[in-house]
Structure 1
């Protein structure tokens, strides 16, 4: 749970009465942004994503984005914002160092969550939208895999909701739908650290396997 500056002061009001606030509690006191706990064991995604890859990806790369972001936002106007607010505001301000770390932290929180519960079937209005916009799940998966191959270097491939229509976006580096006004439905990391230990240079094979074996399409339905 993230405790912001106002909550901290309210909870500590009696103890602080008649005293001077510590320099650590300033107009821009840094909020402790906390990496979301992995919702399953590291070996739960194997063999599609190995426990070794999950350990490095979640424990090193994802954790590293939070660590760097918490350092960067100290004593700035971002210090008391939520992670999502930092992403959108740093994007609008073209504050690239902050955006890169915040977007990657948020993207990865979303990435791990979408696998929780396994490859359940799509439901309701989302299922209808998939049939309307892609001709069914096979068409959707084909589009995502093809788009992943167009991302040059590092980046993400996203299934998004754009008004009421579904679309697939290939975004470079820390690209996120939050920064372009789209609703994220599914996001597949195509940075090499997400797949290289298991698939070497076979990026599209990795993306296809993730879509077939790991994505919880009921979760996607809820996002839609």
Structure 2
């Protein structure tokens, strides 16, 4: 049961000028595709082939014999999630339940923003910065490489990809500029609110 790459909900140039069509073409069209292809090849003909991607990630997370399956499967999932965290004309502040919960748990939206920026900028090497629901509390966490919060029992609400392939063509070594631009202009708070409602 091969995992299929979800279609983008926007055109490859729809995030310009903040993320270029060239970056999205390489990132979605090559990097993400490679993770999915590798994952499908690794699980083909094994008992894992009948499991969902989420089940395989949970099953392989702590098994050193399945590190290749985990890395490619988790990266396939992380990227599918990340594309939905971006939207043309995004950014701003969330309203409703999620907005209130962010203010409650972080003190203010601005404090949340600073914490997310810091996590994304200080993740050493490749990885991800996340807004997660941990029990009943919203937290900002960062994960290295292919790691994903679900393997720690946390529920992902929103993420920013800080692998170099996510930003280097547009921002070179200026990761903080990329992160600030995504937060201010592209974050999809409607998608985050749906995840928050489902996670409670």
Give the unaligned 5+ runs of structure 2. none
Find the counterpart in structure 1 of residue 176 from structure 2: 204
Alpha-carbon offset, residue 52 of structure 1: 0.3
Aligned mates of 1:76, 1:118 — CA distance in 2: 43
Match among 55, 80, 83 for residue 109 of structure 1: 80
Match among 105, 115, 130 for residue 133 of structure 1: 105
Distance change >3 Å, CA 121–CA 147, structure 1 → 2: closer
Structure 1 residue matching 2:187: 3-state secondary structure? coil
Aligned length, in residue pairs:
194
Structure 1 residue matching 2:58: 3-state secondary structure? helix
Alpha-carbon offset, residue 111 of structure 1: 0.4
Aligned mates of 2:173, 2:87 — CA distance in 1: 26
Find the counterpart in structure 2 of residue 188 from structure 1: 160
Structure label with greater radius of gyration: 1
Mapped contact 1:155–1:191 kept (Cα < 8 A): yes
Aligned mates of 2:179, 2:93 — CA distance in 1: 18
Q: TM-score, normalised by structure 2?
A: 0.93
Deviations 1:39-61 (A, max 9, x none): 11000011111000000000000
Mapped contact 1:121–1:216 kept (Cα < 8 A): no
Mapped contact 1:121–1:218 kept (Cα < 8 A): no
Find the counterpart in structure 2 of residue 166 from structure 1: 138
Mapped contact 2:120–2:129 kept (Cα < 8 A): yes
Which has the larger helix fraction?
2
Find the counterpart in structure 2 of residue 69 from structure 1: 39
Alpha-carbon offset, residue 172 of structure 1: 0.5
Q: TM-score, normalised by structure 1?
A: 0.83
Find the counterpart in structure 2 of residue 148 from structure 1: 120
Aligned mates of 1:121, 1:211 — CA distance in 2: 10
Give the unaligned 5+ runs of structure 1. 1-30
* RMSD between aligned residues: 1.3
